[in-house]
Amino acid sequence: MKPGFKIHVRACKADGTVYRSWHTMIESVNADSIVTISPAGGMVQDRARKSYTIEHILRSYYWFDKFIKLLKPPSSAAFFKLFLRRGWRTEQI
C-alpha cells in the first residue's frame, strides 16, 4: 500500500461478516498505521441501511495493532469520532 492507492475498506463483525464497505484513498502509511481520505459524495454500502453517500470529506486513521479507528472531517478540527473497530480488511482496487 502506498499514498494515492485506492482501496476497498470492509468493516466486519466479530464473525467476519461484512456489515459496511466503501472505497477510499490512502493518504499516508507508516509501520503501524494508515490514514485514508474519503471524498464527500462517495458511496457506502451498509447491510442495514443499504447504500448512502458520505456527506463530508472524511479522514480516517487505522492502527494495525489496535481495535480502534478515528474519523475526522478535515474541515472541522473540533469534531472527532472514535469507534470500536470489530475488524476491517482492505484490498487495493
- Domains of the chain, by residue range, sit at 6-92
Q: Is 24 exposed, middle or buried (0-12, 13-18, 19+ CB in 10 A)?
A: buried
pLDDT band at 27 (very low <50, low <70, confident <90, very high): very high
Separation between Cα atoms, residue 45 and residue 57, nearest integer Å: 17
Separation between Cα atoms, residue 70 and residue 85, nearest integer Å: 10
Give pLDDT tens digits for 28-39: 999 988 999 998
Give pLDDT tens digits for 41-67: 999 998 887 898 888 888 888 888 877
Q: Is 20 exposed, middle or buried (0-12, 13-18, 19+ CB in 10 A)?
A: middle
pTM: 0.70
